[in-house]
Structures are given as C-alpha cells and as structure tokens.
Amino acid sequence: MGIKDKALAFSRKFKLDSHHAIERFGVFFGIFAVTGATVITGSGAAALKAGNDALTQTALYTTEFKTSKTNLDGTVDGVYTNKSGDKALVMMHFNASAQISYNATDYRAFLLGSDNSLNSEPVSTGGIKGSFHVFGSTGYVGVLLDADKSFERQVLNLTVRATAELTTPGPEQTKGPDKLAGDETFSKYDQWRVFFNPGASGVKKIAALDALTFHPAQAYYEVALKEKETEARNALDQKLVEMRTNLTQIQSYTSDLETTKVDGLFLRPPSVPASIASDKVTGVSVAEAKNGVSTLALQTKHVVSGGFDLNWRAGNVYDGYLETLVPAGQTYAQFFAKKRDERSDLTGQQISDMQWILSDGSSLAKDYQSSDVTMRPLMNVMNNLSQAYQNYAKNKFEYQSDLTLNLLRLDIGLRDVQSNSTIRDDKDFLTTLY
C-alpha cells in the first residue's frame, strides 16, 4: 500500500473524509530552501522540505498567517515547551483591529504530521490532548498540547478553525500556494494553519508550562509581555540618564551666572519652579555600574500633573504595580481617567515665564534686544540655562507620565488576561491523525 493509500485509509478510519469535520488533508505544498527550512506564510499555510539537521533544530516554520475566509492577519509568536518536553504551547496573535471571538468555545483544531518528502503522515507522538486559550481581549490565542511523553522530532501541521465569523468574508480567493491539494475546508470554514516541531532542539522553554496548573496570565507574561516590559524599563532608565545630564547642565550654567559679566552687569539666579527646584537623579547608569545594573532614581518632591509616582525598579508587571498606586475605594479605570484629565505640562509654562533680572534691576529679556552685541555673553548664559530647564522639565514630564504609563499599560493588559481568559479543553476540541 502506497503512502497516498495509507493517508486515505487513516482519513476514513478517523472520519476525516469529505463528509466529516476535517474533510481532507492533502500533500503539503511549498519549498524550504534556507538552511533546509524557509518559512512560507499566508492564510496560515506553510510547507516543509528539510533534512535531518533542520528537523532536529527548527521549531517553528510558520511566522504569519491569514484566515481563509475573513482574511484576518495574524502572527505566530512561537512554540514553547516545558522542561520535560511533553507539553507544547503554540502562541499566536491577531492584529489589533481584527474582529475575532474572545470565546474559546468558538474554535477547534486538527493535527497531522509530515514526513521529509512533504507527505502527510500520522502524528508520531501518542496520547496528545489539546486545549484552546483566548487571552482576554488582547488578540492573543494559543493551542496547548499535552502528550503522554516528550514530543518526538516531527513537523506537525496544526489547523485552527473559527466556528464563529465576526468579520464579513472577503472575495473568494483563487487557490494559492498555501492551499493543500484537494482540501476544500479552507473555503468552507474560516481557518488557518501553523507548521511547527515541538521536539526540535531550538524550541523555547517557559516556566508557565512547568506549573502543575496552566495559568494563561503567566504564559502571556512570559511570551508577550516580558520583552515589552524590558523595553519599557530601558526607556525609563535612558530618560533618567538624560535628566541627570540636564541637571548637570543646569548646575554648570547656573555657575556661569556668577562669572559672566558685561560692564559690571550680571544676571541674578532666576526663581525656579518648585516642581523641579530640588530634584536630583541619584545612582549609576548601566555603563557606570560594575555589575551592569543601573540604580538611577529620581528624587523629587513633586509629581507632574497627570503623572505617576512609581518606584518601578522595586517591582515588575507580573507581580503588579497598580496596588501601590490606586487609592483605596477607587477602581484602576477611575484612577487612570482622573490622571488623564489632570494631565498638563505646567512646569514648562512656568519656565517660559521665568524672570531674568540683571544686577541693576532691569530685565535682560524685556529691556534688551537679542541682537544687542554688547549683551551677547549674558544672552548666551540666559538661553543656555533656560533651555536646560526646559529640557529637564520636558524629560521629567515624559518620564513620570508617558513612559511610566507605557509600563502600567502592560499591567492593565495582564489584568485583562487574568480576568477574561477563556478555555476550551473538551475531547472534541482537537482531532489528531494517529
């Protein structure tokens, strides 16, 4: 019996023919050329033609997909396993504007294997159970596979079907290179396909899959948020470096007030807004620290309007920041709405209104022209110091409002996952060809 006949026999045995849920799975289509494996994307299809080296190392073959009827674009974040290799999570997310169902019961999946000759074959790892997870309203979804033993090195073909279409189907597409020969299910149902190898050496391991109970929030944090959290924290740290430079400039230009004179006239130190007058940036930067760990921190008595007084180094997004910020009796939605209404860069305006008084009581800014050559040294000192104050005020506003808010938004997203995730884990969710 040839491979085609065997595939047909398996299809009939497990009710995968045209009269059942996953009518036909045909031959994979496509060519993988780069180091034995090249990703082919579009409508969730990919193909594989790889040698033993690629099969050993490559974990993911599909990085993007498009649903077959509603044409929604998505990204495959990766395939992740636990330490023992008997659990695998395929994590995916749709574009922010995509209208998808957030109810996991509106999805089902089908799993096949593939050999090195591009032919469909039974899945070699036995006892696989599957569940589908929708991570709140974030657009992230995942298929969790739980096997009786470690996954063997085999490329798996996972087809996910959405049984609820919340987007009007687009024009019927002509058969492209991502459609399997003879497989009409992609026209009949809204579905997409991912090719991956959970037994590959290159697969990523996450702690969330080693826990006794799978917690969607932990997986979402490790896969989707941890890198973004690092980026947000790095941006905050870099802003502290800039603010420290601004304060050094202010100190230097303030000293110039005492040494710069024109015909006996000098500038008196201006009255500095209380919101920044006593600010300091303490600690060392990443470049300065012997262990490469920054300890920079803002010491201030005033928080900008609509900003946040957050000691972000002392915590992380997974443990949560909001408990330390939101006052008792207020929801975090109310808290952020109030902050939004309060938002105003008052310090910048106060610096623009600063008075620059000369030692004779006259105003350098009002009583002299900027083109006056004789007063140019004093004009330069005034402009330098004023600009340094403006730069510091601008950076402080960004630090305590926009950049801190970027970090807190990740906390909000995690809370969405904690509160609103859904799961489908019944026996009818996953159909596997053994």
Residues 6+ apart with CB under 8 A from 262: 374, 375, 377, 378
Burial class (CB in 10 A: 0-12, 13-18, 19+), 222: buried
Mean pLDDT over all residues of the chain? 86
Residues 6+ apart with CB under 8 A from 171: none
Position 40 pLDDT exceeds 70:
no
**What's the confidence (pLDDT) of residue 267?**
96
User: Which of residues 399 and 56 earns the better pLDDT score?
Assistant: 399
Q: Yes or no: say if 268 and 357 are a contact pair by the CB < 8 Å rule.
A: yes
Distance CA 293, CA 312 (A): 14
Reading the block at residue 94, the tokens are 């749709």
Q: How confident is the model at residue 54 (pLDDT cuts 50, 70, 90)?
A: low
pTM equals 0.82
Count Cα neighbours of 46 within 13 Å in the Cβ-side half-sphere: 31
Q: Yes or no: say if 84 and 125 are a contact pair by the CB < 8 Å rule.
A: no
Position 173 pLDDT exceeds 60:
no
**What's the confidence (pLDDT) of residue 172?**
60
SS3 state at 306: coil
Q: Yes or no: say if 65 and 42 are a contact pair by the CB < 8 Å rule.
A: yes
Find which of 135-144, 343-352, 366-375 is predicted with most confidence, using mean pLDDT. 135-144
Position 257 pLDDT exceeds 60:
yes
Percent of the chain with pLDDT over 90: 74
User: Which of residues 23 and 383 earns the better pLDDT score?
Assistant: 383
Looking at residues 258-268, what average pLDDT do you find? 94
Q: How confident is the model at residue 169 (pLDDT cuts 50, 70, 90)?
A: confident
Looking at residues 26-51, what average pLDDT do you find? 37
Position 171 pLDDT exceeds 80:
no
Encode pLDDT of 195-208 as tens digits.
999 999 989 999 99
Number of helices (H) and strands (E) in the chain: give both, helices first.
12, 14
Position 29 pLDDT exceeds 60:
no
Poorest-pLDDT segment among 17-31, 101-115, 395-409: 17-31
**What's the confidence (pLDDT) of residue 38?**
32
Q: Are β-strands 297-299 and 190-196 bridged in parallel, bridged antiparallel, or unpaired?
A: unpaired
Of 135, 132, 154, 136, the closest CA to residue 145 belongs to 132
Position 35 pLDDT exceeds 90:
no
The alpha-carbon radius of gyration of the chain (Å, integer) is 30
Position 138 pLDDT exceeds 90:
yes
**What's the confidence (pLDDT) of residue 166?**
79
Position 276 pLDDT exceeds 60:
yes
| Single-letter residue type at 238 | Q
Burial class (CB in 10 A: 0-12, 13-18, 19+), 428: exposed
Encode pLDDT of 348-392 as tens digits.
889 989 999 999 999 999 999 888 889 999 999 999 999 999 999
**What's the confidence (pLDDT) of residue 78?**
96
